Structure formats: structure tokens, C-alpha cells
Amino acid sequence: LALQNEVESGYETLIATLENQQQRATLEDGVWKFPKGDEFYEHALQQTTTTDMTADEIHKLGLSEVARIHGEMKEIMKKVNFDGSLHDFFKFMREDKQFYYSDDAFGKAEYLKEATAIIEDMKGDLDQLFITKPKADIKVKAVEAFREASAGKAFYQQPAIDGSRPGTYYANLYKMKAMPSYQMEALAYHEGIPGHHMQIAIAQELEGIPDFRKHSFYTAYVEGWGLYSELIPKEIGKYEDPYSDFGRLAMELWRACRLVVDTGIHTKKWSRDDGIKYYAINTPNAEIDAVKMVERHIVMPSQATAYKVGMNKILDLRKMAKADLGEDFDIKEFHDVILTSGALPLTVLEKQVKAYIQSKK
């Protein structure tokens, strides 16, 4: 009776509303089609990136980064003596069985064992890069069966504030074909150490600042740090396997393409198919990944630009600090400046770094 009287009528109202909306829907996908759509998108970019970068600047940055990363990938092709085009190499990396664990309990256990080993190994090298380190520990865990079909590829759960639960790097092992071994190292660094676990756990444990700053979330800062954290292990000798280094570049490339496609759809009148095609041509990812990402661009204008803009801002600030301080530059001090104020808008983070530079002088 409840289904007939309440639920059914609710669905009928929803269906009628959607059918009414469909009459006004168009095939264009970008917000440019709406009144003041351009102004809306520029505002969305400012909110998402916490910078004053324009859509055109972000688009050009994306194109430049895609070209650079493609160049670095071609160097890896030479290292492994691959004969063929970059697109051929993408196909090889996507399809060759050597890069995938078996889709059974044994394969999943091996993946978790290796991911844990990567994080444990990185723990031993943190003193090279950091002054402040989190008190909370981290564990690696498979996404539970009840939610693995709908959950993302990998994600991080922060530790309990009272210390009763460690941070958790969740790896989604629902389909092992979606978790290539060559991306395992970069994923572990991004979600675990020195990525989200370092940043989020340290923020929670800060003293002398208001609680809201311990738990604030600016996507460009948080995900920018995560993406930056995929790179810094390479600078101390990680990614010895060139295929793992390709995995790192593939993940960065995906974020660089987001800059191109998001701005392409919302300011340059790209279609849904244009966006999917761009990903298919320029990345090693499966087409279904491209479809999901383009649909995310369409319904969440600007959101996906945060990651690469955030990473590049941190790299730009590091470059500035190195140039100004010369031999007095200390990577551990720089990371302390980045991590010991909680999540910040990138404009505020820049002020923090400039103040650090002046204090050193």
C-alpha cells in the first residue's frame, strides 16, 4: 500500500518533471549555452582552482603538459626497446597480460601485499623529504564487496581523530583489469605516503589552530598534493621499473587531459564525442574511462581541473623558493610550509611560501 500511495506517486512526479525538462534539453554539452554561461564557468574555475587562472590559460597549460608527458613516455619506450608509435605503446600497456594480477583471491592478495610493501618502503625514506610526519599509521585494504562495484578505483579514508583507527588506503579490486601493476606504485604514493595520508593526518594532528582548519578541504590543494606526491618519490630514486614510471606519467597525463577537455567542452564548444575522442587518442586508458570522465566534465564544470592546477602550483612555488634561496633551500622545510597550516586556497598557500622565503633571507 505504501508503494502504491507514496513511492509510485513520487516516481510519477519525477518522470513528469524529467519529461518536461527533456523538451528544453539540447545536444550541446557546455555551460556556454546558458545565459551568462561564460561568466559562470570562469567563476567556477576560480572556486575550484582557488586561483585567477582563466579558462584559456588552463586549456593552454593542459596542451603543454600533454605534449611534455608524451615526450617523457617516448623516452620510456626507448628504454624498454619498444618498436612502434606511442599509440601502439598505449595499446600494449593496456592489453599485455604481464601488467595484470589474476582476477581471483590469490591475485587480489598479491596486489594488496605489494601495495603494502611499497608504502612500508616509502616510510623508511620520509626523513629525506619531511620534518613533520603523522603520528597515525596507515593500512592498505581492499574495498569491501558490498560497495566495490560502484566505488572508485582507489581512495583514502582519514584516521580517527582520537587515534583509535589508522588511515586507510582503499584499493578497488573488483576487476583486476582496472588495476594494472604499472600504476600500483603511483597509486600507493598518491593515496598513502607521501600523499593523502601525510597531508590529511598531519592536518588533523596540528595544534594551536581552529578545528575547521584541521578538516577543511580545498580540492586544488588536497588533490594537488596527492598528484605532487606521485612525483617526489621519483626524485629520491623510486620508480626503478620503467613501466612503473610510465604508470606515474599515465596518471599525470590523465589529469593534464582533464584541463584540455573540461575547458574544451565549456568554452570551446566541444561535444561529448570530441572529449571522448581526445582521451582515446592521447591516453592509454580504456574508452569506458573516457566516457565516465567526459560525463563528469559535463555535469561538474571545472571540478576536474583542480588536480593538475594544484600540482603545478606546488611545483611553481618550489621552483620560486629554490631560485630565491639558492643553497639555503631545504626541501624538508618547504614541505613543512606546505603541510603544517591545514588545507589552503592556492593563493593563500603562495603567500605562506613567500613569507617562508623572506624569513629565510
Give yes or no for a contact between 175 and 205, defined as CB atoms under 8 angstroms apart. no
* pLDDT for res 3: 84
DSSP 256-300: HHHHHHHHHHHHS---HHHHHHHHHHH-SS-HHHHHHHHHHHHHS
The string of pLDDT tens digits covering residues 304-314 is 999 999 999 99
Give yes or no for a contact between 136 and 157, defined as CB atoms under 8 angstroms apart. no
CA dist., res. 128 & res. 335, Å (int): 11
The string of pLDDT tens digits covering residues 8-25 is 989 999 999 999 988 888
Give the dihedral sign, CA 319/341/343/49: negative
**Statement: residue 97 has pLDDT above 90:** yes
* pLDDT for res 143: 97
Q: What are 109's three cell numbers?
A: 592478495
Average confidence (pLDDT) over 264-272: 97
Give yes or no for a contact between 53 and 313, defined as CB atoms under 8 angstroms apart. no
Q: Which of 193, 180, 177, 308 is nearest to 246 (CA)?
A: 180
φ, ψ dihedrals at 142, nearest 5°: -75, 145
* pLDDT for res 26: 82
Percent residues over pLDDT 90 in the chain:
93
**Statement: residue 361 has pLDDT above 90:** no
Q: Which of 45, 9, 12 is nearest to 297 (CA)?
A: 45
> Where in the chain are the domains?
29-360
348-360 burial, b at 16+ Cβ within 10 Å, e below that, comes to ebbeebeebbeee
DSSP 38-97: HHHHHHHHHHHHSS---HHHHHHHHHHHHHHHHHHHHHHHHHTT--S-HHHHHHHHHH-G
- Identify the band that residue 27 occupies on the pLDDT scale cut at 50, 70 and 90: confident
* pLDDT for res 356: 97
Q: What is the pTM of this model?
A: 0.93
* pLDDT for res 163: 86
**Statement: residue 1 has pLDDT above 80:** no
**Statement: residue 4 has pLDDT above 90:** no
Q: What's the mean per-residue pLDDT of the chain?
A: 96
* pLDDT for res 306: 98
Q: Which of 69, 68, 30, 61 is nearest to 302 (CA)?
A: 30
Mapping DSSP to helix (H, G, I), strand (E, B) and coil, where does residue 30 land? coil
* pLDDT for res 67: 98
* pLDDT for res 257: 98
Q: Which of 226, 238, 218 is nearest to 198 (CA)?
A: 226
CA dist., res. 327 & res. 263, Å (int): 39
- 10 Å Cβ neighbour count for 39? 11
The string of pLDDT tens digits covering residues 72-86 is 999 999 999 999 999
**Statement: residue 207 has pLDDT above 90:** yes
CA dist., res. 288 & res. 21, Å (int): 27
- Identify the band that residue 200 occupies on the pLDDT scale cut at 50, 70 and 90: very high
CA dist., res. 100 & res. 34, Å (int): 44
* pLDDT for res 156: 97
* pLDDT for res 2: 80
The string of pLDDT tens digits covering residues 34-65 is 999 999 999 999 999 999 999 999 999 999 99
The string of pLDDT tens digits covering residues 139-193 is 999 999 999 998 889 999 999 998 899 999 999 999 999 999 999 999 999 999 9
**Statement: residue 247 has pLDDT above 80:** yes
* pLDDT for res 180: 95
Give yes or no for a contact between 291 and 276, defined as CB atoms under 8 angstroms apart. yes
Average confidence (pLDDT) over 326-353: 97
| Cα-based distances in Å from 319 to 55, 63, 224, 329, 334 | 24, 21, 16, 10, 11
